[in-house]
Amino acid sequence: MSLRTTLTRAWLTRSIKPFLFKNEYDEILPFEECENLGLYVHIPFCKSICTFCPYCKTVYNKALCDRYIDALIREIHKVGGQYKNKKETTSLYFGGGTPALIADRIGEIIEAIQEHFIVTEGVGVELHPDNVNVETLQRLKNAGVTKLSIGIQSFQEKYQNILGRKKVDANKLKEALSAVEFETVSMDFIFALPDQTYEDIKADVDTAFESGANHVAIYPFIDFSFTKSKVKTMPKKQKKELLDRITAYFNEKGYHRSSIWTFSNKKEAKYSSMTRDSFLGFGCSATTLLQKQFKINTFSVEEYCKRIDSDKLPTSLTIRFTPRQRMVYYLFWTLYSMQLDEKKFEHFFGVPLQKMYGFDFWLAQKIGFLTKENGVYSMTMKGAFYYHYYEQFYTLSYIDKMWGIMRKEAFPEKIEF
């Protein structure tokens, strides 16, 4: 745990009380009254394992995968069936892993979701470039998928070699995406790789839009301690110059910035599973965020299936938020969208933002991180960079530690930050 994140947590929560995750959970999840509720489904299977990827994944095995999908559908029914009426939700996202590996069964999962939830803003699926072909895309579209997120990482061979990825054929992507159209086609790129230049990133995003994308995400490279990646992180000054130049390029092109990391050439093209007030997660390693708690499922596919077989939720750890802790979580991920509305904060928490964090937001304005107009705070380019910068410390202090432990222990006794 870095001193930087410890002090930040203590300041923003106005307490030295740590974040404490315990091996416990509620059988009945209180999501019925949640507004702006999202849904997430995790598919952990991959044909091969990328060394830089920190997410919960395992090598694909058809028998194990089918067993997992059967258990996943039972988890959806167990949680969704807790209340009589269908719950309206904003969106449904499939992440991984490689969700396209279960393209022939994704319709079953969506049907299970629709028995209990009404999805109002579409269904998104993450794809490996290898899976972008007409047959797979048509199968996904027929199942109800409306948005794609394709993990390109880089079109350039020098970075594909560094990341252990195969060459991506942009022409084949364009052909497939032209044949089967989707509401949003997002392409992901890793930002701040060794010696990466403005011209490198510009070439990647230009190729993305030429190949059929209407949305791109530029995620900063983070060196997780438990991965086998040998990629080195870029120095802070160089990273800031790079981010400023590519942001200026997007502005010059008239592209819309929908979050810290995402840009689109059409304002209506959106893809994000993060900016939700609350969400339910299904599958191993999936997380659930509710009004007063956050929980995470076991990372073990085998133990996940065993829990479901015994008619229990596969929850590994739960944190019960103090009011201030929940506010910090809300502020962090709401500002990811580049804006924060005071009225929405007060509606969610029943207390004015100025009362709780008036000085903090005044200081952020003075430093140049935020501007304010009509009760809405907007993040500046300077603020966006430092969000990028601080997010790395947050990730390495919290997510790296938690995921590192949970990859080894299916149900840890507790984790304290």
Q: In whole angstroms, what is the distance from residue 160 CA to residue 20 CA?
A: 39
Instruction: Judge contact between 275 and 259, C-beta under 8 A.
Output: yes
d(C-alpha 246, C-alpha 238), whole Å: 12
Q: Is the pLDDT of residue 170 over 80?
A: yes
Give the pLDDT of residue 406: 95
Q: Do residues 117 and 251 both lie within one domain?
A: yes
Domains identified in the chain, total number: 2
Output the domain CATH number for residue 382: 1.10.10
Confidence at residue 265, expressed as pLDDT on a 0 to 100 scale: 93
Answer yes or no: is 186 within a domain.
yes
> Nearest to residue 137, comparing CAs of 125, 152, 153, 122?
125
Write 377-383 long-range contacts (CB < 8 A, 24+). Answer: 377/335, 377/339, 377/340, 377/341, 377/342, 378/338, 378/339, 379/260, 379/335, 379/338, 379/339, 381/244, 381/247
- Which among 220, 249, 264 is the end of a domain? 264
User: Could you tell me if residue 219 is left (phi over 0), alpha (psi between -120 and 50 degrees) or otherwise beta?
Assistant: beta
Same domain, 97 and 217: yes
78 domain-assigned: yes
In a domain, 417, yes or no: yes
DSSP element (H, E) containing 113: helix 106-116
Q: Please say if the pLDDT value at position 1 is more than 70.
A: no
- Tell whether omega for the bond before 81 is within 30 degrees of 0, i.e. cis: no
Domain boundary among 264, 291, 314: 264
My answer on whether 114 and 247 are in the same domain is yes
What is the SS3 assignment for 26?
A: coil
Q: Which residue has the higher pLDDT, 219 or 120?
A: 120
Same domain, 179 and 53: yes
Give the percent of the chain with pLDDT over 90: 75
Spatial separation of the C-alpha atoms in residues 223 and 189, rounded to whole Å:
15
Min mean pLDDT across 137-141, 204-208, 401-405 is at 401-405
342 and 202 in a single domain? The answer is no
Dump the DSSP string for 42-86. EE-EESS--TT--S--EE--HHHHHHHHHHHHHHHHHHHTTSSSP
Q: 45 - beta bridge partners?
A: 58
Least confident of 124-133, 146-155, 255-264, 357-366: 255-264
**pLDDT tens for each residue of 297-320:** 999 999 999 999 999 999 999 999
Mean pLDDT score across all residues of the chain: 93
Flag whether 209 is in a domain: yes
Pair (345, 417) in one structural domain: yes
Which domain-ending residue is among 223, 246, 264? 264
pLDDT in tens, 326-347: 999 999 989 989 999 999 999 9
**Exposure of 164 in the CB half-sphere (CA atoms within 13 A):** 11
- DSSP, res 11: H
Q: Are residues 215 and 248 both part of a single domain?
A: yes
Instruction: Give the residue-averaged pLDDT of 137-151.
Output: 97
Give the distance from CA 305 to its chain's centroid: 24
Cα separation, 286 vs 314, in Å, equals 10
Give CA–CA dist 245/266, Å, rounded: 21
| pLDDT tens per residue across span 147-169 | 999 999 999 999 988 888 889 99
Q: Do 416 and 365 lie in a common domain?
A: yes
The proportion of the chain whose per-residue pLDDT surpasses 70, expressed as a percent, equals 97
pTM, 2 dp: 0.94
Do 358 and 235 share a domain, yes or no? no
In a domain, 297, yes or no: no
Distance CA 308, CA 311 (A): 5
Q: 244 and 165 in one domain? A: yes
The answer to whether residues 42 and 170 belong to one domain is yes
* 8 Å CB contact between 293 and 320: yes
CATH number at residue 208: 3.20.20.70
Q: Are 272 and 285 in contact (CB under 8 A)?
A: no
Which of these ranges, 217-221, 231-235, 244-248, has the smallest mean pLDDT? 231-235
Q: Give domain status of residue 167, yes or no.
A: yes
Within a domain: 381: yes
Is residue 399, in this structure, part of any structural domain at all?
A: yes
Residues 91 and 174 in one domain: yes
Tell me the average pLDDT across 178-185.
97
Enclosing domain of residue 375:
1-17+323-417
Residue 404 reports pLDDT greater than 70: yes
